DNA sequence: TAACAAAGTCGACTGCGGTCAATTTTTTTT
DNA sequence: AAAAAAAATTGACCGCAGTCGACTTTGTTA
């Protein structure tokens, strides 16, 4: 009895997400109106706005779930001592598959997480933090194996690879990369560039070290 | 007489852009309605849509102009034999200043150019191409000076640095980077990482070369 | 220059996301 | 159990972006 209210709220929230998931996957995000979702969830339009701040938030809500799930799963799978670059490719390509499964979904997700509005900044930061938590261990292991410099701020390393991932996804949205293979190839090339360095061999930390 | 129609169209188009520029800078993008712009330009609402496909297109139209202008100017200024990294920082920080001058403008621009909708893909590609044209010469010169590997596809190098730039701008929108100095510092760190490589010294092309 | 075609213009209209004052439902107090 | 307070729900309502068929202007043909 303590949480009668709470329980109802949870059920309503779940009902909204379920209705949304159903409608989104049947007719896409843009073609689904808040009213439709409300009707499908058996509630009034206004009620939705006491559970979510905006339409895109509804979408992001289960995007994030699925996203984090994928990441967890992939990172488990790729944890066993493979080279860093393979681990990263597995991780990011898994994510890309989720994005590319529905271009429209993915675009909103990427736009909202990479360039968030003030309203959704917090949400995006949360997602971002999960990312960092996820990747930092990978990098630490790679450092132990001698695959990664130890004099770097790991958060910048995360940013580096994530930036290259965003760039690649952008290339896909721009129509420069058409197939999943294209994306995988470019991503790998960029990652290799990052690891090997863009300046000619020997130019680099030699300056500092020798 | 041949181009009476054409002339009028040009004037109307210019009038729309002028009205838009005025209204946008006075009350922001979101708070300016198509109707307002139409009124200010002395034409009907529907007419606007025979000149531009959507509201955001109007915005992008003069964004691009200004953008390319800035880039041209900056690349001139930074062309004189400075190290590659300085040239790149000058270029991207100039661009960031344009973006950060109005956060809201910038967000739309970034969203639309990095993750374009089918409708605006062409426009984004054009902008992208101008970018490439702009940066490739910088890289070629850097290669001559021995600052950049010569075994790379330059378009991937452009992508690499642009990806890092996007990542940094994202950090600003996410509230992780607060001042222009923060942005400049992170951008420089990432660029250095890219040039020096993330793997430990010697690991890199040594494998191939030695 | 009269008749016709083509290009350009228009604003009433549609459906949307989001708001809010009024109302209903639940919890707390007496 | 009644009254009062708090929380949750609602749909009419707002201003908006974008559409469309009716209309006007320009160019062409005979």
Chain segment B161-210, per-residue pLDDT in tens: 999 999 999 999 999 999 999 999 999 999 999 999 999 975 544 444 33
pLDDT digits (tens, 9 = 90+) for A41-63: 999 999 999 999 999 999 888 78
Question: Which member of A175, A176, A205 has the closest CB to residue B201?
Answer: A205
pTM here is 0.89
Residue A199 with chain B: CB contacts under 8 Å: 147-149, 195-197
Of B116, B166, B176, the CB nearest to A167: B166
Min Cα separation A80/chain B (Å) = 20
Instruction: Find and give the residue nearest to C20, measured CA to C1'.
Output: A46
pLDDT at A38: 97
DSSP secondary structure code for residue B200 in this structure: P
**Which residues neighbour A8 within 8 Å (Cβ) at sequence distance 6 or greater?**
none
Q: What is the DSSP string of B81-146?
A: S--HHHHHHHHHHHHHHHHHHTHHHHHHHHHHHHS--GGGHHHHHHHHHHHHHHHHHHHHHHHHTT
| pLDDT of B207 | 43
Select the more confidently predicted residue: A73 or B38.
B38
Nearest CA of chain A to the CA of B76: how many Å? Answer: 23
Within 7 A of a protein CB, which nucleotides of strand C?
Answer: 7-12, 15-21, 26-27
Number of residues that this document lists for chain B: 210
The pLDDT of residue B4 = 67
Which residues of chain B make contact with A200, given a CB cutoff of 8 A?
A: 146-150
The per-residue pLDDT for range A8-37, each reduced to its tens digit, is 899 999 999 999 999 998 998 999 999 999
User: What is the average per-residue pLDDT within A110-131?
Assistant: 88
What long-range pairs does A135-144 form, CB within 8 A, spacing at least 24? Answer: A135/A91, A135/A161, A138/A75, A138/A78, A138/A79, A138/A84, A138/A87, A138/A88, A138/A91, A139/A84, A142/A84
CA distances from A115 to A21, A157, B169, B193, B205 (A): 24, 20, 8, 23, 36
Is any atom of nucleic acid chain D found less than 7 Å from the CB of residue B176? no
Q: Which nucleotide lies at the shortest CA–C1' distance from B37? A: D17
């Amino acid at each position: 009895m303590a949480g009668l209210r709470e329980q109802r709220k949870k059920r309503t929230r779940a009902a909204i997400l379920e209705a949304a998931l159903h409608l989104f996957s049947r007719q896409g995000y843009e073609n689904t109106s808040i009213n439709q979702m409300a009707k499908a969830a058996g509630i009034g339009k206004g009620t939705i706005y006491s559970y979510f701040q905006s339409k895109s938030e509804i979408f992001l809500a289960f995007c994030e779930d699925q996203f984090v799930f994928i990441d967890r799963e992939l990172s488990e799978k790729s944890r066993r001592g493979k080279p860093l670059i393979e681990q990263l490719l597995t991780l990011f390509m898994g994510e890309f598959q989720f994005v590319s499964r529905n271009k429209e979904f993915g675009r909103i997700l990427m736009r909202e997480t990479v360039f968030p509005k003030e309203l959704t900044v917090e949400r995006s930061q949360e997602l971002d933090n999960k990312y960092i938590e996820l990747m930092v261990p990978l990098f630490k292991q790679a450092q132990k194996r001698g695959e990664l410099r130890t004099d770097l701020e790991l958060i910048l390393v995360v940013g580096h690879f994530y930036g290259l991932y965003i760039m690649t996804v952008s290339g896909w949205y721009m129509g420069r990369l058409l197939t999943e293979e294209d994306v995988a190839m470019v991503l790998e090339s960029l990652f290799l560039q990052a690891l090997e360095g863009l300046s000619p061999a020997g130019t680099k930390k030699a300056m500092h070290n020798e």
